[in-house]
Structure 1
């Protein structure tokens, strides 16, 4: 018998979506309670954790991830995590259980009222099929929409009495391919501007790493003799941090960006917004005498940019097209940046990580107050080696590390989490233990929302309340969830603790006072 459920499973199977990330609710039981044998279910203890795991999985795998949320309440719980997924362009296919159709008009308990409005504006598309027969087609539309550039989350609300309805027609699985490379004339123009510029500079964003284009970016920088910056507030690492052309991460303010790029006459930005500022420090948008070229796969980023000429197209194809047009440039070899002088606890922790972590290690970080120390100390060379909450929403790191590890089981995932951020998604440790996901968690404990101290100084706010988060025993909490934990100091013996934890085939938590 052909049903809505069996047809939907066929669509999901053809799309490679056989892992469901979810937290069960009554509206969802008719779907998750009948999973075929080739499907699996990864459970989180709340919806924010579920979306965080799926976000990490989608980013690290390069494909879509299937999420199952519980009606309106579950969707609301997930919205903070959905913000990070939206700005990371993560292709999430989010299903939400709806009340039976006969109850929806009367707003019975667990009705998802105005279901297609609720997740906006953090999804590309929100659907609630008008009749049961349209559920499989809507699911296929959701998968294709999530994967088309710019990628992003898509939401489908499904009444739970739809699943067992019989169908007269089977929706066909199909492929949707996207082109979108820049035309030759645009590539010629950009190449000519690079060739005639006297002091060009390259700024890279997370979409370069997401498109598996880091090697192309390195070749372009070497071919054209370009110094390289990473765009402000990076959520991925698009360039090797020990490459001699790497300059660092741009500050997230108008004044800061303009000052850092002073002296350059052409700024080529690839795979990033122009620019995603954070702290309010008004100043010139660009240095004196500079022009800007922006290459992005996101029309929205192109349209809302503060400055520059934007070209919307495929990032790898555009980089490859520029390489074909640029001659080798006889630029002097750059002087490598000096290593960071170690002075603080976080810097000593990161230097120890450099010593013991494998070269292919993946870092998932959510310790905002130590971001500068991280970027000036940690070596990242492999593609897909770094993840950070794209919207800055706390609660990303603990669950996202699990998703990244599930997507990249052959690589070691190290999660560096601040003690303030850890509290937002601590139940993720239950999932780590339940599925034996061998992430090594480092909780840097400074007993405060440390990043807010800097913002308080910037805003000239004296003695703000609520920054103290002392007195938390993370080792006991982790062990309560079933994860081995220990406390270690940032010093010469830290490697003796980190190395066996990284070699283990089980999750672990190491709490480090900083």
Structure 2
């Protein structure tokens, strides 16, 4: 199938078989070979085209496709588009773009900054980054128009239509998205039926579960189902006890390994997470054959852009509550929480991060909130910590550095009844170091454990992954954060042994303190 073939099939499955338009040269590659089951309604001016589509959509109650010509045709349609915006009409506007190599030099009929042209009138606008993303982008334009009840705008370079569709592009054909302020009886009955019919269901929980205070309810649901439970990839809050016998860990942030992790499950219920926030580009099929995915989220944008699976846009807490009411109790006694393995050991001059995290686990109160910004030690962290309460874990959601030190101040101010520990890498510390001054001025009792390995450890790992091991700028020797902290008014110590680290951690802080620990370099895995 070509990208064009997939696009028409997406439209057909959404019930969009009428296209209103006034074509130009950029649109012809899309319109050629239009299936006989489709109808093209020609208008002699783009304002009339949008007006006709607006009336048709309001009369039918369904989203409608509008096909315009590049920037000029889109501009001609703007006046009529204002009516569609305020009547909340779900128009899906596509505009032909020049071939990709001609956009930068601004060839005739190139739509420069295409996504900005229709803003702020449209509710969503995009131009796919590559031909392979056109089918998913078109599906998102349709879903966004339905969910937002507002026109959307998609610019497509005309050389994209004749590209052979990627295998994963077809996954979007089976997508369905529905919205409910609160799931009704029929929806709950259907959800319960799907879950109960699954022979090997799995749960994937996102950070929104913890943000919304649903940590305990999600744990109860997993136990009721006896379901293997993962945390969603690129995790910023922990939604489930990480030593719980049902917990399988944080899903890998690559397409192929994530599909491998979920292989063998017939139903994957994703609660409070996008599908999915990948990081490393490890391509493959999204899910193995026989695995179906159902997403429950109140984030309409996340539901709209997902490339596969079905979605219900509603409050996850409402669905969890209804499932707990409807599902029978699980009479099986829960197994004991797992015990971490002995931490890996470092060298004579540097501890292994696992030793540091084991020391934190053994010395800090169970209700401690951890703000973590040490990306290269991510695998070591999850192998050693034991977090059983909501609000125990905070991590920079976008991966942008500079969150850890200041966020720990904010968490301590927002939850003064809980101890707060910031686990900070020496690479990331430099981005938010001034947060120490505020911590000192306010006397916030935050403990900062700063892991110093003299490098951007995660960057070195990525350099190996991308075969770029000779790239410069991955080492940062010569930094002494004890002196920096003292300059900001924060007491600091360089713990040079495991015994010294444990002894310092066992002391209760009366104000902010920084403990610098030399560690060996590790990878995020």
Unaligned runs of 5+ in 1: 1-116, 125-149, 151-178
TM-score, normalised with respect to structure 1:
0.64
Residue 228 of structure 1 corresponds to: 229
Q: Distance in 2 between matches of 1:267 and 1:336?
A: 23
CA contact (8 A) 1:363 1:386 kept: yes
Residue 504 of structure 1 corresponds to: 509
What RMSD over aligned residues (CA atoms) do the two structures have, in Å?
2.2
Q: Secondary structure at the match of 1:492?
A: helix
Q: Per-residue deviation at 1:499? A: 1.6
Q: Distance in 2 between matches of 1:403 and 1:235?
A: 16
Assess, with a 3 A threshold, how the Cα gap between structure 1 residues 256 and 335 changes in structure 2: closer, same or farther: farther
Residue 407 of structure 1 corresponds to: 414
Residue 197 of structure 1 corresponds to: 198
Residue 405 of structure 2 corresponds to: 398
Q: Distance in 1 between matches of 2:202 and 2:277?
A: 18
Q: Secondary structure at the match of 1:406?
A: helix
CA contact (8 A) 2:243 2:339 kept: no
Q: Per-residue deviation at 1:181? A: 2.0
- Which sits farther off after the overlay, 183-192 or 351-360? 183-192
Match of residue 429, structure 1, among 425, 436, 442: 436
Spell out the pairing of 1:480-491 with structure 2 (5 A cutoff): 480-489=487-496, 491=498
Spell out the pairing of 1:174-185 with structure 2 (5 A cutoff): 180-185=181-186
Q: Secondary structure at the match of 1:391?
A: coil
Spell out the pairing of 1:149-160 with structure 2 (5 A cutoff): none
Q: Per-residue deviation at 1:188? A: 1.4
Deviation string for 1:397-428 (max 9, x for gaps)?
A: 00000000000001000000000000001111
Residue 288 of structure 1 corresponds to: 289
Q: Per-residue deviation at 1:464? A: 1.3
Spell out the pairing of 1:95-134 with structure 2 (5 A cutoff): none
Deviation string for 1:246-275 (max 9, x for gaps)?
A: 111000010111111111110000001000
Q: Distance in 2 between matches of 1:288 and 1:459?
A: 29
Residue 303 of structure 2 corresponds to: 302
Give aligned pairs, total: 341
Assess, with a 3 A threshold, how the Cα gap between structure 1 residues 497 and 384 changes in structure 2: closer, same or farther: same
Larger Rg belongs to: 2
TM-score, normalised with respect to structure 2:
0.62
Spell out the pairing of 1:196-345 with structure 2 (5 A cutoff): 196-329=197-330, 337=338, 339-344=340-345, 345=352
Q: Distance in 1 between matches of 2:252 and 2:342?
A: 20
Q: Distance in 2 between matches of 1:284 and 1:341?
A: 36
CA contact (8 A) 1:247 1:337 kept: no
CA contact (8 A) 1:395 1:423 kept: yes
Q: Distance in 1 between matches of 2:497 and 2:368?
A: 20
Q: Secondary structure at the match of 2:405?
A: helix
Assess, with a 3 A threshold, how the Cα gap between structure 1 residues 434 and 338 changes in structure 2: closer, same or farther: closer
Q: Secondary structure at the match of 1:493?
A: helix
Unaligned runs of 5+ in 2: 1-115, 124-147, 149-179, 346-351, 520-525
Assess, with a 3 A threshold, how the Cα gap between structure 1 residues 335 and 460 changes in structure 2: closer, same or farther: farther
Q: Per-residue deviation at 1:288? A: 2.2
Match of residue 441, structure 1, among 430, 448, 458: 448
Q: Per-residue deviation at 1:183? A: 1.8
Q: Distance in 1 between matches of 2:413 and 2:333?
A: 43
Assess, with a 3 A threshold, how the Cα gap between structure 1 residues 259 and 331 changes in structure 2: closer, same or farther: farther
Assess, with a 3 A threshold, how the Cα gap between structure 1 residues 385 and 492 changes in structure 2: closer, same or farther: same
> In the alignment, does 2:396 pair up with 1:389?
yes
Q: Distance in 1 between matches of 2:293 and 2:332?
A: 21
Deviation string for 1:265-304 (max 9, x for gaps)?
A: 1000000100000000001101221000100010001001
Query: Which one has more relative contact order, counting CA pairs under 8 Å at least 6 apart?
Result: 1
Q: Distance in 1 between matches of 2:199 and 2:379?
A: 30
Q: Distance in 1 between matches of 2:240 and 2:394?
A: 13
Q: Distance in 2 between matches of 1:332 and 1:261?
A: 25
CA contact (8 A) 1:182 1:312 kept: no
